[in-house]
A and B are shown apart, each in its own frame.
Chain A
Amino acid sequence: KAGVTQTPRYLIKTRGQQVTLSCSPISGHRSVSWYQQTPGQGLQFLFEYFSETQRNKGNFPGRFSGRQFSNSRSEMNVSTLELGDSALYLCASSDAGSETQYFGPGTRLLVL
């Protein structure tokens, strides 16, 4: 099976803009989780979607949002970008009922 794919791999934006990142899970996986990785804060959980519903959310401001489509593909959106949003954004998928998450390569976002 193909692994988790994320697009784009790299992005450069300026403050105040918005950005949309995409994640395609492993075929058959219905759960998609998103994480932010920064040198200072490490890996932090953003949110998780299962069957198009957000089941869990981390401690991030409302500027961070996401959605999941019927084919389990997921997008996350960050509005009104701030310099501190520069990070590696990782997506992970898991099978229904499984606790094991498989990660994609990430999208590196740089906010100038």
Chain B
Amino acid sequence: AQSVTQPDIHITVSEGASLELRCNYSYGATPYLFWYVQSPGQGLQLLLKYFSGDTLVQGIKGFEAEFKRSQSSFNLRKPSVHWSDAAEYFCAVGVMNYGGSQGNLIFGKGTKLSVKP
């Protein structure tokens, strides 16, 4: 069965420090992978996505992620964290069939990021 694991429930980093959030997936075929961010009381904002091609993808707000098929990972990175990055981050895999998207994203449990001044 498809699944997404985010091993870190909560991470605290200092402002200006680098960030890496881990994501591992289990999926039988080439996955469609996403990272979303959620601020308290808000919906999900798409940060970036990977479908195929270059395994290093750039997103909004200075985030990037690298797809590593051999490790079934899609880790999110940012070189220098800002206080406004404090939020919850979700990794997701898109479930597909022969007809394309099934409109179903499987999410990890999320990683809450706190930023120290």
Mark A residues whose CB is within 8 Å of B: 4, 6, 31, 33, 35, 42-43, 45, 48-50, 55-56, 58, 90, 92, 94, 97-106, 108
In the complex, 13 of the A-B residue pairs with CB atoms within 8 angstroms, ordered by the A residue number, are A6-B43, A43-B107, A56-B104, A58-B104, A99-B32, A99-B94, A99-B96, A99-B100, A99-B101, A101-B105, A103-B43, A103-B44, A103-B45
CB 8 Å contact bits of B46-60 with A (1 = contact, 0 = none): 100101000000000
User: Are B103 and A31 closer than 8 Å at their CB atoms?
Assistant: yes
Scan residues 66-117 of chain B and give those whose CB is less than 8 A from a CB of chain A: 90, 92, 94, 96, 100-110
4 additional A-B pairs beyond A98-B101, A100-B49, beta carbons within 8 Å, are: A45-B105, A45-B106, A102-B46, A103-B45
Among B32, B44, B90, B108, residue most surrounded by chain A Cβ atoms (within 10 Å): B44
User: Are A50 and B103 closer than 8 Å at their CB atoms?
Assistant: yes
Across-interface contacts of A105 in B (CB, < 8 A)? 42-43
Min CB–CB distance B27 → chain A (angstroms):
13
On chain B, the number of residues with a Cβ less than 8 Å from chain A's Cβ atoms is 26
User: Are B104 and A42 closer than 8 Å at their CB atoms?
Assistant: no
Mark B residues whose CB is within 8 Å of A: 32, 34, 36, 41-46, 49, 51, 90, 92, 94, 96, 100-110
Across-interface contacts of A101 in B (CB, < 8 A)? 46, 103, 105
Across-interface contacts of A6 in B (CB, < 8 A)? 43
Among B32, B42, B103, residue most surrounded by chain A Cβ atoms (within 10 Å): B103
Across-interface contacts of B45 in A (CB, < 8 A)? 103
Of A42, A90, A100, which one neighbours B46 at CB under 8 angstroms?
A100
User: Are B44 and A90 closer than 8 Å at their CB atoms?
Assistant: yes
Across-interface contacts of A43 in B (CB, < 8 A)? 90, 92, 105, 107
Across-interface contacts of B107 in A (CB, < 8 A)? 42-43
Complex CA gap A90/B43 in Å reads 7
Across-interface contacts of A104 in B (CB, < 8 A)? 43
